[in-house]
Homo-oligomer: A and B are copies of this chain.
């Protein structure tokens, strides 16, 4: 499944071959390092402070100028999306692992649990999941991938009879989003446990009335 980087131009090849030999490589490495640094900082900052932090703040904490941030991410939104990209990529990896190693039911439910654990108090992940919910704009590449991975887990769990059959992937993303947002202002551990248990029970299927 090819994952396309979100719109990051890189149209400088060809003529600057000399540069590439003399110092181009190192520049590119520098740039890549900066990009990573920005993402790291943005990830942490968005996670802890939410989306309202000014870009200047992020640039500062990354030890870079604003201009540099904007060179890599032409828009605050795009920066955020890149952060989202990372989150989802990591989660997708986890999903893949679980798909390979675990039994269908546990794989699915453990994945949910994982997300909840990671999302607790992480405003960026919360916003990331929420942004994937917006029905009004089409799912970007990574979100699609994420949904597909989740769908895979769900499917197998349903085939194994561990999850109600009427449930759709969207329902799961929605529920995840909800649970995780629920915990935005509330890191009481018992709470998340109980909510997760309610949701999982509900997903397993009704048994009374």
CA distance A176 to B177 in the complex (A): 12
In the complex with contacts A135-B188, A177-B182, A185-B135, A209-B198 CB distance below 8 A: no
**Does A174 lie within 8 Å of B195, measured CB to CB?**
yes
Please, what's the 1-or-0 string for A142-174, where 1 marks a CB less than 8 Å from any CB in chain B? 000000000000000000000010111011001
Instruction: Tell which of B4, B133, B177, B186 touches A135, judged by Cβ atoms closer than 8 Å.
Output: B186
Residue numbers in B under 8 Å from A209 (CB-CB): 105, 204
Residue numbers in B under 8 Å from A208 (CB-CB): 204-205, 207
Residue numbers in B under 8 Å from A205 (CB-CB): 201, 207-208
CA distance A105 to B208 in the complex (A): 12
**Which of A177, A182, A198 counts the most B-chain CB atoms under 10 A from its CB?**
A198
Query: Could you say how many copies of this chain the assembly holds?
Result: 4
CA distance A60 to B175 in the complex (A): 37
Nearest chain B residue, comparing its CB with the CB of A181: B181
Q: How many residues of A contact B (CB 8 A)?
A: 44
Does A206 reach chain B (CB closer than 8 Å)? Answer: yes
Does A136 reach chain B (CB closer than 8 Å)? Answer: yes
Does A178 reach chain B (CB closer than 8 Å)? Answer: yes
Chain A residues proximal to chain B, CB less than 8 Å: 4, 60, 105, 130, 133-136, 164, 166-168, 170-171, 174-175, 177-188, 191, 194-195, 197-209
Instruction: Tell which of B174, B198, B206 touches A175, judged by Cβ atoms closer than 8 Å.
Output: B198
CA distance A37 to B206 in the complex (A): 45
Nearest chain B residue, comparing its CB with the CB of A185: B134
In the complex with contacts A202-B201, A207-B208, A209-B204, A168-B194 CB distance below 8 A: yes
Residue numbers in B under 8 Å from A175 (CB-CB): 178, 182, 195, 198
CA distance A60 to B1 in the complex (A): 13
Residue numbers in B under 8 Å from A195 (CB-CB): 171, 174-175, 178
**Does A60 lie within 8 Å of B194, measured CB to CB?**
no
